[in-house]
A and B are shown apart, each in its own frame.
Chain A
Amino acid sequence: MATKVFMEALSPTMEEGRLVKWLKNEGDAIKNGDILAEVETDKAIMELVARGEGVLRKRLIAEGATSAVGTLIGVIATADENIDALVAGGGSAAASSPPPAAPVTPAAAAPAPSPAAPVAAAPAPSEPAGRMRSSPLARRLASERGLDLGGVHGSGPGGRIVKRDVEAAATAAPAARAAAPRAAATGADFRDVPLTQIRKTIARRLAESIGPVPTFYLTSELDMERVAEMRGAMAQLGDEYKVSFNDIVLKAVAVALHQHPECNAHWLGDAIRYWDRVHLGMAVAIDDGLITPVIFDAHLKGLRDIATESRDLAKRARDRKLKPDEYTGSTFSVSNLGMFGIDQFTAIINPPEAGILAIGGIEQKPVVIDGQIVPRRRMRVTMSCDHRVIDGALGAKFLQTLRRLIENPLMLVY
């Protein structure tokens, strides 16, 4: 009895997946649970496992191709079983078949333009996903000129980057810096980068957020001197007590949220769910976008646990090794761009959460305290609030609590 291999939903939000690599060849014997392929979901690279036994008789999509969840991508059957009907009747071919090669125009057609000028070819069909194609010569030329092919538009078949594309990019780049409007007018100074799965998801979900989610923002500047002192004191106790500013902020946010469940909530469309436990999402920048791993029950965890866990999650996020249940289920999120020199910014809410806190950088500033101008380390935080859940005063109260904790950090160890 043949077993169909489908593109499975390997993340809760996955709608399509890119087959990164087949780990079994056609003809290989397959046992239940064998890993058949690596699939890039919208979040990570996951393993697709076999759900039947026999021989991998057919691989219906190529490496690099993208298929919608539920598409038939392979067939496991006994070696002699007839699978023609299965293959023929298979999945939604539209999602998995590669684009046709650019047609060759018969020679008798219109005279060819001079190859010296850029050829106004019809835009090549874009790649189904991921892998950038380029001719060996294009790669060598780009390497010699220090040009990143990632920014070059491919005009060849299947989006292949060819010599003329590299040359166009090499000449267009300086021109763009010198005279951007003119470059724009020629239409040559732009690039199309196909969306990766994660990019699509970010776009779709953030669009969802900025559209239907009525957001307002509350900014507060917090004094970090005592946090800095505490951090310094802890570091003197030994390496195992070293924590980052971010760890302390995370801990403070978790504690504050636990005290303000009205801000630790999900918008469900027809209800608001207030959470008792704090599962804190922490946005992590990765090569290809961002992902928000979750520190579960952050309100219960000590600073040391939070420090350890956040480092581990961040590393595995960058390595794309997170499991889906490690980046889903947060009740509130924190995004920190302080390390990039950002003073203050607004973060976009990750639905169905009702709020996100954007952390800016720590900076020494003159501050008036008790009539005296003194230098103090200060940090700005901005909370984005879903007004459907959090009203202005509620948000403000949460931030007051947060300020009290940050400015009296010993409360965090209470």
Chain B
Amino acid sequence: MPIVTYRDALNQALREEMQRDDRVFLMGEEVAVYQGAYKVSKGLLQEFGEMRVVDTPITELGFAGIGVGAAMVGLRPVIEFMTWNFALLAIDQVVNAAAKMLYMSGGQYNIPMVFRGPNGAALQLSAQHSQAFESWLAHIPGLKVVSPGNPYDAKGLLKAAIRDDNPVIMFEGEMMYNMKGEVPDEEYIIPIGKGDLKREGDHCTIVTYGKSINLALQVADAMAKDGIRLDVIDLRSIRPIDTEMIAASVRKTNRAVVLEEGWEFCGVGAQIVDYIQRDCFDELDAPVVRVHQADVPMPYARNLEKLAKPDMNKTIAAVKKVMYLP
């Protein structure tokens, strides 16, 4: 199977969907002539022309709204935010417009579009450029939210998102664009809302998604050397969320650690813990433990940034805590 980077997997998804459906277009800052701030859209301008690969001014609110309007009348926009930090300028369009249109029109206007871009911290980008916003958007009924953690899922989920008739939020990661993985030549779609059990074990469940899945897998490999076998769930979709997979795993292991990049308060992990206590109360042998970013804006200094982020040690400590291990 070909080995492809996360960035190229996204590029393949865009290209294939734009070839397949001429209603699909890509819009955002630097997506066309510059070939994408992270080169996700490399070559697309040359193949599809400037009407379908559209460079915008720096005007997130404006072009997000253009996407909503185009989607209202039948196009299928893919709106790229250079980062989700900048998308805060456009949040009115995502939350008040895209997520609400179908409902407040009584079912007359659905919004088939994708908002995508890198999310979470990279390295030493400090406070304004190192934020994980998935809990913000997953909070909103009317949106679907996905967060692929490898090239295979990135391609399959972006294709699913483009074909979805609802607004779909896709959280990528700057640190993942160079990540390599197997991506088959043949067409495939990953259904939104289905998790992926990446490792099977019976001692403890780690639930996570997006970039953090790679951390969780490292933890599982490290702990396996000590005979500790972890179930590792890559949710892939945050909304809708695969509660059945979570419940089945926790019923087996009786304990769970929830790992996420974002902050603790009202985080996605808090919602997952709620599902676990609701569905698995009598199966729990320990309170669920969460691993997340420190509850501070991201600092610049290398050592402080390291302290703020979830890492292997914090995750292993959490697993040991729920297993009552010293």
Q: Say yes or no: is A13 at the interface (Cβ < 8 Å to chain B).
A: no
Question: A105 contacts which chain B residues (CB < 8 A)?
Answer: 317, 320, 326
Partner of B284, one of A113, A121, A135: A135
- Answer whether residue A107 sits at the interface, using C-beta atoms and an 8 A cutoff: yes
Q: How far is the CA of A116 from the CA of B228 in the complex (A)?
A: 9
CB distance from B265 to the nearest CB of A (A): 21
Measured between beta carbons, the chain A residues less than 8 angstroms from B325 are 112-113, 115, 119, 121
Contacts of A140 in B (CB 8 A): 282-283
State whether A162 touches B286 (Cβ < 8 A): yes
Q: In whole Å, how far is A212's beta carbon from the nearest beta carbon of chain B?
A: 45
Per the bound structure, the CA–CA distance linking A136 and B321 in Å amounts to: 17
A146 at interface, CB cutoff 8 A: no
Render A101-118 as a binary contact track against B, CB cut-off 8 A, 1 for contact: 000111110011111100
Residue contact B317 to A107, C-beta cutoff 8 Å = yes
In the complex, A164 has a CB within 8 A of chain B: yes
Q: Which of A106, A112, A156 is the most central at the interface, judged by chain B CB atoms within 10 Å of its CB? A: A112
CB-based contact B282/A121 at 8 Å = no
Cβ of B321 and Cβ of A104 under 8 Å apart?
A: yes
- Interface residues on chain B, number (Cβ under 8 Å): 24
Which A residues are in CB contact (< 8 Å) with B326? 105, 112, 119, 121-122
Q: In the assembled complex, which residues on chain A have CB atoms less than 8 Å from the CB atom of B314?
A: 107
Contact A136 B324 (CB under 8 A): no
* A156 neighbours in B (Cβ, 8 Å): 286, 324
Is the CB of A155 closer than 8 A to any CB of chain B?
yes
Does chain B have a CB within 8 A of A137?
A: yes
A113 and B225 alpha carbons, distance in the complex (Å) = 10
**B223 within 8 Å of A by Cβ?**
yes
A163 contacts partner chain B, Cβ-Cβ < 8 Å? yes
Encoded as 1 (CB less than 8 Å from any A CB) or 0, chain B from 193 to 229 comes to 0000000000100000000000000000001011110
A114 surroundings in chain B (CB, below 8 A):
226-228
**B203 and A136 within 8 A (CB):** no
Say which residue of A106, A116, A119, A139 sits within 8 Å of B324 (CB atoms): A119
Encode contact with A along B11-26: 1 for CB under 8 Å, 0 otherwise: 0000000000000000
> Is B323 among interface residues, defined by CB-CB distance under 8 A?
yes
A138 interface residue per 8 A CB criterion: yes
User: How near does chain B come to A404, taking the closest CB pair, in angstroms?
Assistant: 64
Answer whether residue B316 sits at the interface, using C-beta atoms and an 8 A cutoff. Answer: yes
Binding site for A on B (CB under 8 A): 203, 223, 225-228, 254, 281-286, 312-314, 316-317, 320-321, 323-326
Q: List 29 A-B contacts (CB under 8 A).
A: A104-B320, A105-B317, A106-B317, A107-B316, A111-B226, A112-B223, A112-B226, A112-B227, A112-B228, A112-B325, A112-B326, A113-B226, A114-B227, A115-B203, A116-B227, A119-B324, A119-B325, A119-B326, A136-B281, A136-B282, A136-B283, A137-B285, A155-B324, A156-B286, A156-B324, A162-B285, A162-B286, A163-B254, A163-B285
